[in-house]
A and B are shown apart, each in its own frame.
Chain A
Amino acid sequence: MQVGLLHYLVVSALLFCLGLYGVLTRRNTVAILMGIELMLNAANINLVAFNKYVAPGALSGQIFALVVITLAAAEAGVGLALVMAAYRNLETVHVDEINIMKW
């Protein structure tokens, strides 16, 4: 049995849904960011797999994956800085306790 596009798509779908589960159920802001990283990785697996199996003539999928990795690094930096700022002002990192904008 040969490894095909479908195998990679199924793995990335499962990884995406695990990340989504983490984002939806976690209280800790850092854990939510970890879930987002898992979802971005699932998207990257899809991009590289499509590059190999659907359009191997160009490297667009790998270029896209590299750009997504760059933006994920920027997102992690700014997101974790926001967590630090929120922790300093509110002394909590739990999203259900950060509710000062809720009337």
Chain B
Amino acid sequence: MGELAAFIILSAITLVSAAVVVTSGNIVRSGLSLVPTLLGVAGLYVLLQAEFVAGIQVLIYVGAITVLILFVIMLTQGGTGVRVRQTTGQLPAGMLTSAVLAALLIAVFRGTVWPSLAGTLPQYTAGPIGATFLTSAILVFLVASFVLLVALMGAIIIARRER
């Protein structure tokens, strides 16, 4: 019962602030509404016994990506201001597409019987995740580190002012 209540509250926070993110006419308000959205998703991770993923979500998404987005909003002055039109001419088409896709996805989810394998999640996931990353998922770990390095250099080179 408590789990259901927590799920409903967290989903409501996530979806309502996500709706503010995509519909608000003020781009700064959109960027700030990203914070409750991502925190709600972190709460859903905690409900799903993924406390390490929830912590990383708070650190990287709420702490880093949102701040980066707000910085870019502040640095690109042409984008701020309430009076600027924020939507393209394809508003009805976009609305129709997302509504149809949502209905289709929910219908498919309701009609599918998902298998359920045996086993239980470990009580604390941080240690087993680290062990998996350093043994069977070591290639993924190394490739992700390399991608991060390349993205770091690429971002610096692209954003640098040319002389």
Contacts and interface: CB of A to CB of B under 8 A. Distances in A.
Contacts of B128: 59
Interface string B101-145: 110011001100011111111100100110011000100100010
Interface string A52-77: 11111111001101110111111111
A56 B147 CA distance: 29
Interface in A1-37: 1-3, 5-11, 13-22, 24-31, 33-35, 37
Contacts of B27: 28, 30-31
A30 B94 contact: no
Interface in B132-163: 132-133, 137, 140, 144, 147-148, 151-152, 154-156, 158-159, 161
Instruction: Name, among A19, A44, A67, A80, the residue most crowded by chain B CB atoms within 10 Å (CB to CB).
Output: A80
Contacts of B98: 17-18, 20-21, 24
10 contacts: A2-B4, A21-B97, A22-B22, A25-B91, A27-B87, A31-B22, A31-B86, A52-B121, A69-B61, A93-B78
